Structure 1
């Protein structure tokens, strides 16, 4: 009887890259400016296709288009600070589903909008396309 040779997995399958923890996300960089028309609702739409984070399992990069839509109450998000904030995810190991929730939480704390939504449309990885969305509505705007 012939013995089967055990198949050795290619070394690349065992490889893992180091990642940073979500503590590396730089929330302090976020800045705002006053919205001068607080009685008038305006929808602000922001998007970027330059968002990257990494898979917490493999350390391989995840790329996404991030869309942020919000109705400010008294404060607007300063865009340069938002860019630096999103760049701080670059080496952070975070699940795709958690990234949109974390972004929403941080931005809501920053500018306290009436309403906000965050969507991440990730590039296909392993043949799977993922889009994650989350929404916030202030208690004031629910009434």
Structure 2
């Protein structure tokens, strides 16, 4: 059997729509009071449904993200966090920058004693990425 010629030109101009970071709904984050200030608990919020997109190709980046924190006066309201995280869905942002931004914006909202955001990004092209960002008051 001879070599088959395939025309790949149909892929040259494909570009998926990408939103810029202004689409991230930071102002939607809400808090609720922590009723036991001074009594530390560690809260862990995992999600395996986080998506953003590669700023170069527009192809999706998927991550398992875990936000863990020790509250001070406030907790994060979960519905607002879901909307916030979902707002990244079509945003072109580097994986490391998304992880750090999530940490900084949730810290700004709830002002915890400490927080860690761990993101395990699905492999693409054989390479996965684990990004950990931490904050201590």
Both structures adopt the same fold (TM-score exceeding 0.5): yes
Report SS of the residue matched to 1:50.
strand
> 2:16 maps to which residue?
17
CA distance in 2, matches of 1:11, 1:21: 26
Deviation at 1:17, TM superposition (A): 1.2
Partner residue of 1:35? 34
Structure with greater strand share of residues: 2
Structure 1 residue 133 corresponds to structure 2 residue 132: yes
The structure that has the greater radius of gyration is: 1
CA displacement at 1:28 relative to structure 2? 1.2
2:12 and 2:39 map into 1 onto residues whose CA distance is: 55
- Count of aligned positions: 131
Tell me the distance in 2 between the aligned counterparts of 1:55 and 1:13: 17
Shift of 1:15: 2.4
The match for 1:68 is 67
Partner of 2:101, secondary structure, is helix
Question: Residues 90 and 106 of structure 1: is their aligned pair in 2 closer, same or farther, counting only changes over 3 Å?
Answer: same
In 1, distance between residues paired with 2:85 and 2:130? Answer: 17
* Structure 2 length-normalised TM: 0.91
Unaligned ranges ≥5, structure 1 = 1-7, 139-143
Structure 2, unmatched stretches of 5+, are: 1-6
Match of 1:5 in 2: none
Other-structure match for 1:55: 54
4+ residue runs of structure 1 moved beyond 6 angstroms? none
Q: TM-score, normalised by structure 1?
A: 0.88
Deviation at 1:14? 4.6
Q: CA RMSD in A?
A: 1.3
